Amino acid sequence: MMKFGGNEVKVAIIAAMPEEVAPFRKFFTQGKQVWQKGKTVIEQLNKDIYLVESGIGKVNAAASAAWLCEQITPDLIINTGTTGTFHANAELGEILLSDRFVYSDVDATGFAYQYGQVPQMPADYPIDHVLLQEVEQLFSTYGITYHLGTIVTADSFMSDGATIGTIRKNFPDLIGSDMESCAIAQVASFYNIPILNVRAISDKVGDEAPQMFDDSVDDVSTQAFQAVQVLLNHLSKDFV
């Protein structure tokens, strides 16, 4: 079994789109499908690693995570793929590493909840500090350019100026946005399963974001895979 922090672990990698899981399928040529429902496909890549193509958006992500946690019960979930960035100094292909998970399209502030907080749920889902430090050290050791900060989750692609402005106002420290990660983190929290979010920048938020995404998604998905590969190498010397 793999080792992480001295413990044996089983790892599940979740990405939303075929382009984002393609580099994993190319590398793990002996992977086999173990479950499929709707947009969700779960494959066993080897005895310790599972790959989940969840489908896009919070509902697909949450449904995929629930089945995964019930049937596979991984010890660690790595959410990966592409992300739009709010970070002015970040470049396409660089890695965004989440320090917490939070929704950017939930508003129950009228009931004294924080913006982004689902009623009766936590305000956010922080990543274990020790785990995060270990990942940062690995990325620094292997020369991976990364940016650490908050990646918010919404059922919106960040091309609309008004939406972007609202999110910037409510989350001034954010560095990126995706459409799945907080939903996965919320489900994982029910099972006390730690989760990382390691994504590569495919676009910069704004009206040019859709074209930037279309032009970069394949290359950027490979860069996200390479960052996750560093983590998997650390987990198991048998990975390569």
Residue range 175-192, pLDDT digits in tens: 999 999 999 999 999 999
Could you give the CA distance from residue 225 to residue 239 in angstroms, rounded to a whole number? 13
- State the pLDDT at residue 238: 42
User: Could you tell me the two tokens for 110?
Assistant: 């009228």
- State the pLDDT at residue 17: 98
Q: How many CA atoms lie within 13 A of 92 on its CB side?
A: 17
Average pLDDT, whole number, for the chain?
93
Taking a C-beta distance cutoff of 8 angstroms, is the pair 146, 96 a contact?
Answer: yes
- For 10-58, the DSSP string reads -EEEEESSHHHHHHHHHH-TT-EEEEEETTEEEEE-SSSEEEEE--SSH
**Residues tagged active-site:** 20, 203
Contacts of 105 (CB under 8 A, 6+ apart): 153, 154, 155, 156
User: Could you tell me the two tokens for 80?
Assistant: 């990966």
23-46 tens-digit pLDDT: 999 999 999 999 999 989 999 999
Is the pLDDT reported for residue 3 higher than 80? Answer: no
Tally of structural domains, the chain: 1
76 inside domain: yes
What confidence category does residue 7 fall into, taking pLDDT thresholds of 50, 70 and 90? Answer: low
- State the pLDDT at residue 6: 55
53-111 tens-digit pLDDT: 999 999 999 999 999 999 999 999 999 999 999 988 899 999 999 999 999 999 999 99
10 Å CB burial of residue 141 (0-12, 13-18, 19+) is exposed
What angle do helix axes 58-71 and 181-190 make, rounded to 10 degrees? 30
What confidence category does residue 235 fall into, taking pLDDT thresholds of 50, 70 and 90? Answer: confident
96-146 tens-digit pLDDT: 999 999 999 999 999 999 999 999 999 999 999 999 999 999 999 999 999
- State the pLDDT at residue 1: 42
Q: How many CA atoms lie within 13 A of 38 on its CB side?
A: 13
Could you give the CA distance from residue 159 to residue 169 in angstroms, rounded to a whole number? 16
Could you give the CA distance from residue 215 to residue 137 in angstroms, rounded to a whole number? 31
Domain around 41: 6-235
1 inside domain: no
Q: What's the whole-number mean pLDDT along residues 193-206?
A: 97
CATH number of the domain at 15, please.
3.40.50.1580
Taking a C-beta distance cutoff of 8 angstroms, is the pair 54, 13 a contact?
Answer: no
180 inside domain: yes
80, 14, 9, 48: CA torsion to nearest 10 = -110
Taking a C-beta distance cutoff of 8 angstroms, is the pair 228, 78 a contact?
Answer: yes
DSSP symbol at 118: P
The length of the chain, given as a count of residues: 240
Specify whether the backbone of 230 is left (phi greater than 0), alpha (psi in -120 to 50) or beta: alpha
- State the pLDDT at residue 236: 66
Could you give the CA distance from residue 181 to residue 189 in angstroms, rounded to a whole number? 12
